[in-house]
Amino acid sequence: MLWYLLNLSIILIFIILYLITRQTNKRWSKINDYLGKVSSTANSVRYGNLSTKIDDLEHPTYQNVTESINRMVETLKDREKMIVEYQSELMRQNKLLENVINSLSDGILIVNDKFNILRATPKVIDWFGTKGKDLIGKSINDYIQLPDDIAIEKAVNQDIFIMSTPTNNFILNTIILNTEDKKRFILLIKDVTNEREIETLKEDFVATLTHDLKVPIVAESNMLNFFLSETFGEITDKQRTALTNMKKSNQELLELVQIILDTYKINKAGITLEKEELEFNKFVKDITDEMQPIAKNSNLVINYIPYEKDINVMADPMQFTRVVKNLISNAISHSNTKEKIDVTMNEDNDFVYLSVIDYGQGISKEEIKLIFNKYYSAAKKFRKIGTGLGLYLSQQIAKAHGGEINVTSEPNVKTEFCVKIPI
pLDDT tens-digit map of 268-324: 656 777 888 989 899 999 999 988 888 888 888 999 988 888 888 898 888 888 889
Answer whether residue 419 shows pLDDT above 90: yes
Contact 54, 62 (CB under 8 A): no
Give the model's pLDDT for residue 37. Answer: 63
Kindly report the number of other CB atoms within 10 A of residue 335's CB atom.
22
Higher pLDDT, 271 or 29: 271
Residues with Cβ within 8 Å of residue 286, at least 6 apart in sequence: none
Contact 360, 371 (CB under 8 A): no
pLDDT category at 18 given cuts 50, 70, 90 is very low
Residue type at position 63: Q
- pTM summary value: 0.49
Q: What does the pLDDT average to over 76-102?
A: 76
Rounding to the nearest 10 degrees, give the CA dihedral for residues 108, 114, 117, 121. -10
Give the model's pLDDT for residue 381. Answer: 45
* CA 408 remoteness from chain centre: 24
pLDDT category at 355 given cuts 50, 70, 90 is very high
Answer whether residue 417 shows pLDDT above 90: yes
For the ranges 24-33, 39-48, 186-195, the one whose mean pLDDT is highest: 186-195
Give the residue ranges of DSSP H helices in 54-104. Answer: 60-103
